[in-house]
Amino acid sequence: MKQNKKIILMRVAARNVRRSPRRTALCVSAVGLAVFFVIFLHSFMQGMVDNIEATVRAFDTGDLSAASRAFEEEKEFMPVQYPVGEAAGLSADELCARVKTIAGVRHVFPRITAYASLESSKVKHAFLWGLKIDEESAAWNFNMSDHTNGLVEGRFPDPDKNECAVGTRFAQKSGLGIGDEVLLNTITAHYSDRIWAPVITGIFNFDYAKYDGEAILVQYDRLERLLGMEDGAQQLFVFCEKPRQNRAVAKALSALLGDGDVIREWEDNYYVVMMRQSMAIMLVLYLVFVGVASFLIVNTVLMIIHERIKEIGMMGSLGMTRLEITSVFFFESLFLSILGALAGSVLGGIVCLVGSFFPIDFNTFTGGGMKDMPVSGTLVLSFDWGILAQGFCMGVLIASLCTLIPSLKSAFVEPVEALRR
């Protein structure tokens, strides 16, 4: 019997929603727009977080990075005289071979990063980036936006030749191109100057402003010999098979290397932590957007109660309890919230789905002014059913709860007083 009565009350509320199309459209639009903007902003922020996390892991940290404690203390200077794994007495190749035997490790690469001063160029400062290029390009895409190795002209340098590759921004700023020499000076592991003039064989676009504008890409073995590192790796970058294996691999890697080295996880990166914390701002924005929409519904419900005061009196005189009268107006508000949240979720889902296939040129918004952040130049919106479900549920919950108080007001209208108006 109670179930049937509830169904009847819901039918009355649904009929009331249809009675005023203009009022219904206004409330639905308000909630829908609020939910749409929240979903869009959440998708945009999640896309930026994913972008930064992928860029950090690929270029700056790997899933795990290992370096000597002395290197970590002077990391801003990128010293090459403190090899990782020195206590273990292993060369870079031997160390990589040992790390590959750890369960959960997918790839392990030694890398070198060293600052350089350029002598005869418009660009005066850059950094040498030593990679095992063939191995790394086979494992992941340097240009994650286009899913390519990033080479736009020429070829990558040969390990047995005096060659290098530079980024598109570096080539534009310096005025250098393929076939030109880059005269530079760097510091070796023996604290001596090394004058070097590699020939540019390729120009790349990694869609990462810092590397496209400042990196001089060199084969790892070549740079290792030039800097006198004697088969020692400056840093090891480890990529795991699955994210949940990072901690176990880090523990095994720490046991292999000993106390003289430091293991860093990509989640410890400053920009990753900062972006994850900034997601809390989404909650505040959500409450603001949905709160504004809920305010409109609250006013609408109050207007409905004022306009239908005699109708409320009639309900009371016919024997409806205060709870039943409140339920009618609450269900009416609930239906408006559901319709609005559904409309906003559908519109937000369509926009986010399209944005997930068509990257946004991030430089359009920043003017290229975020070169120091580990973020690629293109941003893809994150299409996630969880984001849509969260936006819909919270939109319905907040909007409907905000109308509970004005709905209760209808229950305290005395039938006799209401019928006199």
* 138/16 same-domain check: no
> Can you tell me the distance from the alpha carbon of 284 to that of 266, in angstroms, rounded to the nearest whole number?
27
> Can you tell me the distance from the alpha carbon of 416 to that of 43, in angstroms, rounded to the nearest whole number?
53
Closest to 31 (Cα-Cα) out of 281, 387, 283, 296: 296
For 62, the 3-state DSSP assignment is coil
Q: Is residue 66 part of a domain?
A: no
| Burial call 175-199: b when 16+ CB within 10 Å, e when fewer | ebeeeeebebebbebeeeebebebe
pLDDT at residue 412 in the model: 66
* 220/163 same-domain check: yes
Q: Of 136 and 378, which is predicted with more confidence?
A: 136
* 48/92 same-domain check: no
DSSP 187-251: E-TTS-EEEE-PEEEEEE--SBHHHHHHEEEEEHHHHHHHTT-TT--SEEEEEESSGGGHHHHHH
Q: Of 83 and 333, which is predicted with more confidence?
A: 83
Quick: pLDDT tens for 266-318: 888 777 777 777 777 766 776 777 677 667 666 766 676 666 666 666 776 76
Quick: pLDDT tens for 325-338: 777 778 877 888 88
* 155/240 same-domain check: yes
> Can you tell me the distance from the alpha carbon of 215 to that of 407, in angstroms, rounded to the nearest whole number?
64
pLDDT at residue 327 in the model: 79
Paired residues of 65 in beta bridges? 237, 264
* 319/385 same-domain check: yes
* 225/196 same-domain check: yes
pLDDT at residue 367 in the model: 54
Domain boundary among 230, 257, 284: 257
What's the pLDDT band for 217 if we cut at 50, 70, 90?
Answer: very high
For 262, the 3-state DSSP assignment is strand
Strands 163-167 and 199-204: parallel
* 131/233 same-domain check: yes
Q: Is residue 62 part of a domain?
A: no
* 304/367 same-domain check: yes
Whose tokens are 């030593």? That residue is: 130
How confident is the prediction for the chain on average, in pLDDT?
A: 82
* 129/36 same-domain check: no
Name the residue range of residue 308's domain. 2-55+275-420
Closest to 373 (Cα-Cα) out of 243, 267, 274, 266: 274
Domain boundary among 198, 230, 257: 257
Is it the case that residue 421 has pLDDT exceeding 90? no
The arithmetic mean of pLDDT across residues 45-55, rounded, is 83
Residues in CB range of 400: below 8 A, 6 or more apart: 330, 333, 334, 337
Q: Is residue 324 part of a domain?
A: yes
Closest to 116 (Cα-Cα) out of 77, 150, 159, 60: 77
Quick: pLDDT tens for 25-39: 877 887 888 888 888
- The crossing angle, in degrees rounded to 10, of helices 92-100 and 246-257 is 140
Residues in CB range of 404: below 8 A, 6 or more apart: 330
> Can you tell me the distance from the alpha carbon of 343 to that of 49, in angstroms, rounded to the nearest whole number?
27
Is it the case that residue 81 has pLDDT exceeding 70? yes
The pTM of this model reads 0.75
Q: Of 327 and 194, which is predicted with more confidence?
A: 194
For 8, the 3-state DSSP assignment is helix
CB burial of residue 342 (10 Å; 0-12, 13-18, 19+): middle
* 315/412 same-domain check: yes
* 119/251 same-domain check: yes
**Lowest mean per-residue pLDDT among 56-60, 215-219, 266-270:** 266-270
> Can you tell me the distance from the alpha carbon of 109 to that of 100, in angstroms, rounded to the nearest whole number?
10
One-letter amino acid of 4? N
CB burial of residue 129 (10 Å; 0-12, 13-18, 19+): buried
Enter the tokens of residue 309. 């005061």
